[in-house]
Homo-oligomer: A and B are copies of this chain.
Amino acid sequence: MNILILSAGTRNKIVQYFRKELYGRGKVVATDMSNLAPAIYEADKYYIVPSMHAPEYLDIILDICKKEEITGVLSLIDPELSLLAKNCDKFNKVGVKVIGSSYELCEMSLDKNRMFQWLTTHKYNCARSYVDKEKFFSDVEKGEITYPVFVKPVKGSASISISKVYDKDTVEVLFAHEDGLMIQEFLDGQEIGADVYIDMLSGEVVSIFTKKKLKMRAGETDKAVSFQDKKLFDLIEKFAKEAGYRGQIDIDIFDINGEYYISEVNPRFGGGYPHAYESGANHMNLIINNLNGEINDSVIGRYEIGTYMMKYNEIMIRR
């Protein structure tokens, strides 16, 4: 059983965890387009590959799969999730399972406006969102939404180009300078992160890890504490099943006076997953079981509460 991790980047912990879980059973192969991606050096073997936008990219990855006898492949970056999902048949043909959700779900999850539409239609609490700023201004006048709001790219990540905005003038200036922006209601509550595993064989949600985010930095969770709440678990289970996700997903949620609001979904390992792993939510193992053809039983709630995660910078030196 060999696992291929694409676009490993700086996700050293993810590579380390897979390697640990596969120890004695198989190897981890990692790729990146840069030889300055520290995570590739944690793998048993690595390949420097072209950009995922290069026409030959997919063939190169498929070649690596054949050569390294890969069992399952996953990517750690958003734009590549759809590429893998779209081409899952090609991977299947060479005996490789794509670890992830469908093309449609990957595309929807990347698009904050489509996600908003879906959540609203399916009656989940979520942040009110606008791609049409005139509609937003008119709703402000009607008192249906108030400042501050977030102005952010419809397809953005890592808090890049997000502004907290307090007045119409600033909305106008931002929209005048950048395309593809949207306005999103500012949810003022406790931020929560959920790491969720949906069994790839049964389609059932089999693991949920939730944490309260205590401190954010540059769009990432810097400090957090694990907790459990049955009501939240039920919401997450219903949502992930109804949407149809598969494999590992990461959900951002807000708790506003006891009501949970779904904010965003990344259908991949999020930057905060190490907290889940170190608290006992071992999703590498669930993936390995699935790749072995075994259906996972639910382990929802089987992790330690009250574990505090604190991030810090480690460095890797190469000569």
Q: Is the CB of A36 within 8 A of B214?
A: yes
Q: Which residue of B lies closest to A217 (CB)?
A: B218
Q: Which secondary structure dominates where chain A touches chain B? A: mixed
* Chain B residues near A12 (CB-CB < 8 A): 312-314
Q: Which residue of B lies closest to A318 (CB)?
A: B308
Q: How far is the CA of A170 from the CA of B176 in the complex (A)?
A: 10
Among candidates B13, B37, B166, residue contacting A315 with C-beta atoms closer than 8 Å: B13
Q: Which residue of B lies closest to A215 (CB)?
A: B36
Q: Which residue of B lies closest to A10 (CB)?
A: B312
Q: Is the CB of A310 within 8 A of B223?
A: no
Instruction: Tally A residues with Cβ within 8 Å of B.
Output: 40
- Tell which of A186-194, A235-243, A245-253, A270-278 binds the partner: A270-278
* Chain B residues near A313 (CB-CB < 8 A): 10, 12-13, 220, 271, 274, 311-314
CB distance from A8 to the nearest CB of B (A): 10
Q: How many copies does the complex hold?
A: 2
* B-contact bits for A270-290, CB 8 A (1 contact / 0 none): 010011001100000000000
Interface centre among A37, A39, A215, A223 (most CB of B within 10 A): A223
Within 8 A of B (CB), among A279-319: 279, 304, 306-319
Within 8 A of B (CB), among A117-171: 166, 169-170
Q: Which residue of B lies closest to A9 (CB)?
A: B312
* Chain B residues near A312 (CB-CB < 8 A): 10-13, 38-39, 313-316
CB distance from A85 to the nearest CB of B (A): 27
Q: How far is the CA of A189 from the CA of B260 in the complex (A)?
A: 47
Q: Is the CB of A310 within 8 A of B319?
A: no
* B-contact bits for A199-233, CB 8 A (1 contact / 0 none): 00000000000000011011010110000000000
Among candidates B214, B222, B307, residue contacting A317 with C-beta atoms closer than 8 Å: B307
Q: Is the CB of B318 within 8 A of A307?
A: yes
Q: Is the CB of B311 within 8 A of A314?
A: yes
New contact pairs (5) apart from A36-B215, A37-B310, A170-B173, CB-CB < 8 Å? A217-B218, A220-B313, A275-B317, A307-B317, A310-B315
Q: Which 4 A-B pairs have the closest CB atoms?
A: A218-B218, A314-B314, A38-B310, A10-B312
9 CB < 8 A contacts A-B: A10-B312, A13-B314, A36-B214, A36-B223, A218-B218, A220-B313, A304-B319, A312-B314, A314-B314
